[in-house]
Every structure is written in structure tokens, then in C-alpha cells.
Amino acid sequence: MQDFEVVVARLDAASEEVRALEASLCAEEKQRAGRLRFARHRRRFVVAHGRLRQQLGARLGVPPEVVEFSYGKNGKPCLKRNGWHFSISHCDDVALFAFSKDSEIGVDVEAIRPIREADSIAAQFFSPREKEAYAALAPQDKPLGFLRCWTRMEALAKALGDGLSNSLKSQAPGWRVHSFFPLPGFIAAVARLHG
């Protein structure tokens, strides 16, 4: 039985919806959005966090604006009350939300595209086994191979509430990491503690 859920959402909302979603955000979220330099980034942040509140509110049976968050030592958000675990990731106009009632969870999404610094990032962060698998890929397969590994690492880092600066590898005891394609042109991963 699947003990988690992943929801895909588009962030290209109409102006009136953006205003309604912004009204549901707390003061700290509004300040964070206001610090973003570009209008499209502010809009995406507002829509992603407003929709997260809608999703959590539906699960908790409360209006989105009363959902309360607290933050872990590395800034990982969690609910002040209730046992729901969640994670959010967005790239371009796509957002992913992952929810679990039973265990910590992390999600990451990326647009499939070449990454100029992929080789140096892989050399710094990938495990020896991952480096070997990545190096063995044909040139045309490297962008997807890199992003598959990167999203897995990011999803696990988010689930653990840890940063990649700790040289986190995409395998950890007791954790399951699953790659998938949420929409054409995007790759994602979800990590959750198993059993």
C-alpha cells in the first residue's frame, strides 16, 4: 500500500487567483516573496506556497490561511500540529507537493535540459558508484542521467532536512528514492523513509 501522495501543479495562475493565494500566506511568506527580485519568481513563489496551503488545509480540514508552519534547524518547514509530513519543489511553472501521514518525505523536480556545470557538480557531490555510472553514459544521455541523480539527491536532502553541503549521497539506510516524470520535459524524485 502506498503511504504517500505526490501532487503536480502548474504555477501559471491568472492575476486574480495569484491575489487570492497571496491572501492566504502568512506575513513571513509574503516577506520572502517580496525579497525575490523578478516578478515571475515572486508569482511562482506565491502560487506554489498558496497551493501548498490549499493542499494541507484540505488534508487537515481547515482553511488554507490558518495552516501554521514551524521550521527545523536547516529551515525545513513542518506543521506546528498534526502528523502530516510534506515537501515542496518547483521549477519553471511546475510545482510538486509530496505528502505522507507516516514518515518524512522529500521531493524535487527539474526541467530536462543540459547543465553546463554537470561534470564538475557530479565530481563534487556524486558517490563513487554514481560517478562511475554517469561517466559511462553516452554524451546524449548525460543530461538526463545527471538530472536523475541530482533530483534523487535533492529529494533525499529535503526529506532529511539536510543540505547537499554535507556531501549527501542518494542512498541512505532505510530510505527509498523513486524517480519519475511528472510532466513531459520534467524529471522528479521522491524520497521517503521505508518501514
Q: What is the pLDDT along the chain (195 residues), one digit of tens a residue?
A: 458 999 999 999 999 999 999 999 999 999 999 999 999 999 999 999 999 999 999 999 999 999 998 887 777 888 877 778 999 999 999 999 999 998 889 999 999 999 999 999 999 999 899 999 999 999 999 999 999 999 999 999 999 887 665 545 445 678 899 999 999 999 999 999 876
Helical H runs in the chain?
A: 15-23, 27-34, 39-60, 118-125, 128-135, 142-160
Cα–Cα distance for residue pair 48/58, rounded to 1 Å: 15
Cα–Cα distance for residue pair 150/122, rounded to 1 Å: 8
The answer to whether 63 and 57 are in contact (CB under 8 A) is yes
Domain architecture of the chain: domains with CATH: 4-102 (3.90.470.20), 108-193 (3.90.470.20)
Cα–Cα distance for residue pair 112/183, rounded to 1 Å: 10
Residue 193, pLDDT score: 82
Strand partners, 94: 10, 91
Cα–Cα distance for residue pair 8/116, rounded to 1 Å: 27
Cα–Cα distance for residue pair 160/169, rounded to 1 Å: 12
Q: Could you give the 3-state DSSP secondary structure of residue 184?
A: coil
Class of residue 138 by CB neighbours under 10 A (exposed 0-12, middle 13-18, buried 19+): exposed
Instruction: Tell me the residue length of the chain.
Output: 195
pTM higher than 0.85, yes or no? yes
